[in-house]
Amino acid sequence: MDKIKLDAWVGIFVAIGVISLLGLAMKVGNLTSNDIRETYMVTANFENIGGLKPRAPVKGAGVVVGRVNSIVFDTEAYHAIVSIDIDKRYVFPKDTFANIYTAGLLGEQYIGLEAGGEEKNLEQGDRIIQTQDAVVLEKLISQFLYTKASEEE
């Protein structure tokens, strides 16, 4: 096998590899869609986070604006403290509302942010005061049964 032909083959090989990697990054992965670089961190307290996990998406009007950084349990107040990284490009007012939603009936859980009306914006280290817990299916069902029962009385 002469050298030039061999080099050409190896060149083609490497090129296919690079194309595949680019394909994985662009078409399969999320390198293009929501690439979050610089962030600021805020926290939010929840009574119940349901199945929320670190790295779960944080959405504003359905657009991914950040990710859950960490979830810890506060042993003094007995609630969960969730830290959220939000992309610097997106700003939210101080009185923003944080809800835990479920994508679809059995989907993963995410945090939805609903902007309030205040003029000052959230900054690094701030805390979102108004939160709504995750909907726990068992609670929902028992609530439903309870109201049904009370209606019939």
Partner 1 sequence: MNINTKTLLKFFEKIGRSFSVRALRLGAATRLFYLILIYSADSFKRIHLTIREIYFTGVMSLVIIIVSAFFVGMVLGLQGYYTLQKYGSSEAIGVLVALSLVRELGPVVTALLFAGRAGTSITAEIGLMKATEQLSAMEMMAVSPVARIIAPRFWAGVIAMPILASIFSMVGVLGGYVVAVPIIGVDEGAFWSQMQANVDFRFDIVNGLIKSVVFGIACTIIALFEGFDAPPTAEGVSRATTRTVVTSSLAILGLDFVLTSFMISG
| Contact set with partner 1 (CB under 8 A) | 1, 3, 6-7, 9-10, 12-14, 16-17, 19-21, 23-25, 27-31, 33, 35, 55, 104, 106
CB of 104 to partner 1, least distance (A): 8
Structure letter (DSSP) for residue 27: I
Structure letter (DSSP) for residue 122: P
CB of 27 to partner 1, least distance (A): 7
CB closer to partner 1 out of 108 and 123: 108
Contact between 54 and 71 (Cβ < 8 Å): yes
CB of 106 to partner 1, least distance (A): 7
CB closer to partner 1 out of 23 and 125: 23
Backbone φ and ψ for 83, nearest 5 degrees, come out as -95, 135
CB closer to partner 1 out of 56 and 128: 56
CB closer to partner 1 out of 59 and 79: 59
Find the helix or strand (DSSP H, E) in which 80 lies.
strand 79-87
CB of 145 to partner 1, least distance (A): 25
Lateral strand order in the sheet of 79-87:
127-128, 39-46, 79-87, 63-74, 57-60, 109-114, 97-102, 130-132
